[in-house]
Structure 1
């Protein structure tokens, strides 16, 4: 149950962080304006809150593991939101990042 909750929190955090960064990008790079930028900043703040809800209390571990989720999630976001077409190296790299994330978060610990 703890692992399922943790994975769900990583997914929600990814939506907030990647979505927030995308909104800021759209606001600035695509000239959509301050409302998009403001919504992005709020989403990025929400990401920070969601990250604190992880059951593990180690900040460095949470952020390091989230890096793998961010890599894979960014590729998926680009596919859905921008029509990005990843090649096999993008996919392989994302899978490697997710494997690293799983080791960092859920690997056996000798405590």
Structure 2
């Protein structure tokens, strides 16, 4: 459970940081939005580096599945746009892939 909460925390930090840039660039918000955005992106990188997975590439691959789910939750909770069935199907497929990468048996 620790690992999944770590990935969700990293995803929230990355999405919030990217959204700050989106808000400034696409929504015309004040450039001061960039300050917490940069801090959030730095926090994302640090949190993801805490992953106990042995190889960075595998950690990033697993994170990708969690990121997709977190992005759809952001879409719904922050932007007020409910994900559709295709979003749900895509997230399910990626989470299955992430689980296989994370928990698949590895030969020594």
TM-score of Structure 1 vs Structure 2, range by shorter chain: over 0.9
Gapped regions of structure 2 (runs ≥ 5): none
TM-score of the superposition, structure 1-length normalised? Answer: 0.91
Summarize deviations over 1:35-56 as a string: whole Å, max 9, x none.
Answer: 2122111101110000110111
- Indicate the SS of the match to 2:46: helix
Deviation at residue 61 of structure 1 after TM alignment: 0.4
Match of 1:31 in 2: 28
Q: Deviations over 1:28-80 (max 9, x none)?
A: 21111222122111101110000110111201001111111111111110101
Unaligned regions of 5+ residues in structure 1, if any? none
TM, length-normalised to structure 2: 0.93
Q: Does 1:22 align with 2:26?
A: no
> Aligned pairs, how many?
108
Matched residues in 1 for 2:47 and 2:3: separation? 10
Q: CA deviation at 1:8?
A: 1.2
